[in-house]
């Protein structure tokens, strides 16, 4: 049987993907659709040949956050392929998060050709530049016609879209029928991704000085801890900063910023990353007389609470010839540890008296049978996680609880704090886990700590179709049956609290065991403290650990 001519759509799609693979792209997330079939089939053939990793999702919003997670962990731009129409719009939440976090993401959307735009054609809207406000780098590519040079043009486009990529970018490809044909794979040698060099712009040359603190927000990285040590400054590191460790760490920073002899003596603040978890940090920066130096991030906006930041720089260099005063960070670290300590007692401290031992045993038994508190939950998850694991934190009450009490620990922690939305938490964590666990020498687990509403908001991401790879993933859901994070905000003092329950708390009573079963996840229910540690033991598959919490 003779083979028909190659469709220009397939030829161009294959050449574009080949160009991306040559330059180090390793992951493509595909959402099925008619107009994008040439891209989807080409991606499947590339995976079949061992040239890339393909992930298929039916929900574009979930697919977008899956790609985000892959890019966060790997550092390599991930590609999302969608068809036309509402499919592209459903990527907007993930594109927004990528823009504000500076995560490299490439959206490749299929579109109608020019003659079908603006005439009411089915599944056709104004896709070109749809993300312009947050993804200014975009390309609207005319439909290929099979002309000479189109494959070379596709390869050149791949180079152009990846050049200097730090946030989201959008390629909108028009295709005419026939929309696909058999895929002919070219000779492709997978490349190694080289991140774009960081622009060495303005540098702040700092010396140790009294009253200096270092603040590490989301994505700050270990450099914040190093600078804090060199400056002899207390380190106020959020739990998702990547810098919550070291001798200068003051984990109980919220309380200390408001305490006499601590926050009132701050004269200079050096900020890394994007702080989002407290009101105390921006309040210090906005205070008169405080000098603030912010190290720019690749995100869309520079951090500037109250527009009071003194100076924005690209890096900080410390003059290490001057010896800092160790008493300043030591006071913060000691006070922080005192604030976090809970004297639970021990058998060793009780002595040998039988009556005291019996009393202690009864108290411990009562504690094990007591309901789990939020603090106990977050402390157990933190204690169970180690450097070979990944911990992903949803935007819920629990990330703030953990930020208040987590001691220093050098473990990988991720959270979507660019816009701090609850959407896409499970999908992002799945992408992080898939990228992290390709190295079989690191048999870790990815734990996701989130609230019940964050779970339900992204419930579609529990689904993986036949043939899709799943990593070792553990969802720990603090189920207090609604958005109790609002209990700590102004609305909790409102006279309209009953109305707020419906429109803000949004109470729910979903059967999470049935939900887990429907999607093929193992379910574990924790109602007592004594069950918690055992429930956090990882398995080889997917587990949903439901922890009952009181409002």
What are the chain's domains?
8-174 (3.40.50.970), 203-340 (3.40.50.1220), 344-368 (no CATH), 372-548 (3.40.50.970)
Task: Find the angle CA(416)-CA(422)-CA(423) to the nearest 5 degrees.
Answer: 90
Omega prior to 178 cis, within 30 of 0: yes
Tokens coding 88 = 């592209």
**2 pLDDT more than 50:** no
Which residues have a Cβ under 8 Å from the Cβ of 458 and sit 6 or more positions away? 62, 65, 422, 423, 424, 425, 426, 427
Selection from 398, 401, 393, 416 nearest residue 251 by Cα:
401
385 within 8 A of 391, measured Cβ to Cβ: yes
Q: What are phi and psi of 218, to 5 degrees?
A: -55, 130
Geometric angle at alpha carbon 26, from 475 and 16, rounded to 5°: 130
Q: What is the pLDDT of residue 66?
A: 98
pLDDT at residue 496 is higher than 90: no
Contacts of 127 (CB under 8 A, 6+ apart): 84, 88, 109, 111, 172
Residue 202 reports pLDDT greater than 50: yes
Q: Check pLDDT > 90 for residue 197.
A: no
Span 56-108, pLDDT tens digits: 999 999 999 999 999 999 999 999 999 999 999 999 999 999 999 999 999 99
Please give the average per-residue pLDDT across 44-53, as a whole number: 97
Percentage of the residues of the chain whose pLDDT score is greater than 90:
79
- pLDDT above 70: residue 485: no
DSSP, res 503: I
Q: With a threshold of 0.85, does the pTM exceed it?
A: yes
Strands (E), 17-77: 27-30, 53-56
Q: What is the DSSP letter of 218?
A: B
Long-range contacts of 198-203 (CB under 8 A, 24+ apart): 198/314, 199/314, 200/314, 200/315, 201/296, 201/313, 201/314, 202/312, 202/313, 202/314, 203/313, 203/314, 203/315, 203/316, 203/317
Exposed (0-12), middle (13-18) or buried (19+): which is 362, by Cβ within 10 Å? exposed
| Cα 151 → chain centroid | 35
């Amino acid at each position: 049987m003779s083979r028909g001519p190659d469709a220009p759509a397939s030829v161009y799609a294959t050449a574009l993907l080949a160009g991306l693979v040559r330059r180090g792209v390793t992951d493509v997330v595909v959402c099925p659709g008619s107009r994008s079939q040439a891209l989807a089939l080409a991606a499947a053939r590339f995976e079949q040949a061992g040239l890339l990793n393909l992930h298929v999702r039916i929900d574009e919003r979930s697919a977008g956050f899956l790609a985000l997670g892959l890019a966060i962990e790997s550092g390599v731009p991930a590609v999302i392929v969608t068809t036309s129409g509402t499919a592209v719009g459903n990527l907007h939440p993930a594109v927004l998060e990528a823009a504000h976090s500076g995560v490299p993401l490439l959206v490749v959307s299929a579109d109608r050709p020019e003659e079908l735009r603006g005439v009411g054609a089915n599944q056709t809207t104004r896709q070109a530049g749809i993300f312009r406000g947050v993804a200014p780098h975009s390309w609207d590519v005319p439909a290929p016609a099979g002309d000479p040079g189109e494959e070379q043009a596709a390869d050149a486009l791949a180079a152009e879209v990846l050049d200097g990529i730090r946030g989201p970018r959008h390629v909108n490809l028009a295709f005419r029928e026939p929309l696909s044909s058999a895929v002919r794979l070219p000779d492709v040698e997978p490349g190694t991704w080289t991140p774009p060099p960081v622009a060495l712009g303005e540098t702040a040359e700092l010396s140790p000085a009294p009253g200096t603190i270092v603040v590490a927000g989301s994505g700050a990285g270990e450099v914040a801890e190093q600078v804090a040590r060199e400056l002899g400054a207390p380190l106020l590191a959020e739990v998702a900063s990547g810098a919550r460790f070291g001798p200068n760490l003051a984990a109980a920073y919220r309380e200390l910023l408001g305490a006499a002899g601590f926050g009132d003596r701050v004269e200079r603040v050096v900020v890394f990353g994007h702080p989002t978890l407290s009101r105390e940090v921006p309040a210090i920066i906005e205070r008169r007389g405080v000098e603030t130096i912010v190290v720019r991030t690749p995100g869309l906006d520079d951090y500037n609470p109250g527009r009071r930041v003194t100076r924005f720089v690209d890096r900080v260099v410390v003059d290490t010839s001057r010896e800092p005063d160790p008493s300043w960070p030591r006071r913060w670290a000691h006070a922080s540890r005192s604030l976090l300590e809970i004297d639970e007692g021990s058998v060793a401290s009780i002595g040998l008296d039988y009556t005291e031992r019996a009393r202690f045993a009864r108290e411990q038994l009562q504690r094990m049978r007591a309901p789990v508190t939020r603090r106990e939950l977050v402390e157990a998850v933190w204690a169970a996680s180690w450097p070979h694991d990944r911990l992903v934190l949803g935007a819920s009450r629990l990330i703030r609880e953990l930020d208040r009490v987590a001691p220093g620990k050098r473990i990988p922690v991720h959270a979507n704090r660019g816009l701090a939305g609850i959407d896409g938490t499970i999908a992002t964590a799945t992408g992080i886990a898939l990228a992290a666990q390709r190295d079989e020498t690191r048999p870790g687990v990815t734990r996701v700590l989130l609230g019940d509403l964050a779970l339900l908001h992204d419930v579609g991401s529990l689904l993986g179709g036949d043939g899709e790879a799943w990593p070792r993933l553990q969802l720990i859901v603090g189920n207090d049956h609604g958005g109790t994070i609002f209990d700590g905000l102004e609305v909790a003092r409102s006279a309209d609290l009953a109305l707020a329950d419906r429109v803000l708390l949004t109470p729910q009573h979903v059967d999470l065991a049935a939900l887990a079963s429907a999607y093929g996840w193992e379910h574990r229910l924790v109602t007592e403290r004594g069950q918690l540690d055992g429930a956090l033991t990882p398995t080889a598959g997917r587990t949903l650990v439901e922890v009952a919490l009181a409002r």
